[in-house]
Amino acid sequence: MRAFSKREVQELYRRLAETRPIPQTELEFINPFTLLVAVVLSAQATDTGVNKATPALFALADTPQKMLALGEERVVELIRTIGLFRTKAKNLIALSRILVEQHRGEVPRDRAALEALPGVGRKTANVVLNVAFGEPTIAVDTHIFRVANRTGLAPGKTPLAVEMALEACTPAQYKRYAHHWLILHGRYVCTARKPECPDCVVADLCRYGAKTGPAELVAARAAGGEPGALAEPPPVRGIRRASRAAEKPRVSSPRGRSPRPSS
């Protein structure tokens, strides 16, 4: 598989950025702690399933202290619809206790401290650092792993290898939102079973050899009507420095989700 050139990588991110200028996580949360909880709960579960359970949980426990006060059995009742709910309830109580005892009830802005929490691995730590604190981290889940390998953008045999490859190739101005662009692209366009290649804005850059739909349509759709053309990267549009209000974590709403690219 031919590797992406720097110009092709730049163009891929430019197009994804143009489609979704300010992408957001689809997990609903109130503050860094509830974001951490939501991401822990999302392991081997869908964001939709997590979002159905967390409103009732967050209404009662939006801080580590309140989570501890609820107790493990009450947490189990509130998250029973989520896979592995007993293990996750145990982890939520344990990590809440550590946050209270070692971090004054605050979510640490430190990878090592986050990964030391029960139920928190590298991917979860990356999501929290990126979404809650604006760090340019890239969390590799199944969607990003698939997109990186299928397109040839950053192939790797493990999530860590893909993460390192994405860190190395992603231009600095795109790293803040790279995680979101890639995960949303994998979730809604570059899907596992049947990728929507004719609706893909980067199809002509993609190295995938089994594209769906007529080849001419795929190329024309991706290149904006000129099959095979690689646009000259213009100044980045739609990317602006986050305002202080935008940096403050808030509850994300389905109405605020980035739209699926139109045909």
The residues assigned a catalytic role are 123, 141
Cβ contacts of 210 within 8 Å, gap of 6 or more: none
Cβ–Cβ under 8 Å, residues 79 and 41: yes
- CA 199 to chain CA centroid, nearest Å: 21
As a whole number of angstroms, the distance between CA 80 and CA 91 comes to 14
Residue type, 1: M
- CA 211 to chain CA centroid, nearest Å: 24
Longest dimension (CA), the chain: 61
As a whole number of angstroms, the distance between CA 100 and CA 145 comes to 34
Cβ–Cβ under 8 Å, residues 140 and 148: yes
As a whole number of angstroms, the distance between CA 223 and CA 228 comes to 7
- H or E segment to which residue 62 belongs: none
Ordered DSSP codes for 183-223: HHHHHHTS-SSS--GGG-TTTTT---SS-SS-HHHHHHHHT
Rg (CA), the chain: 19
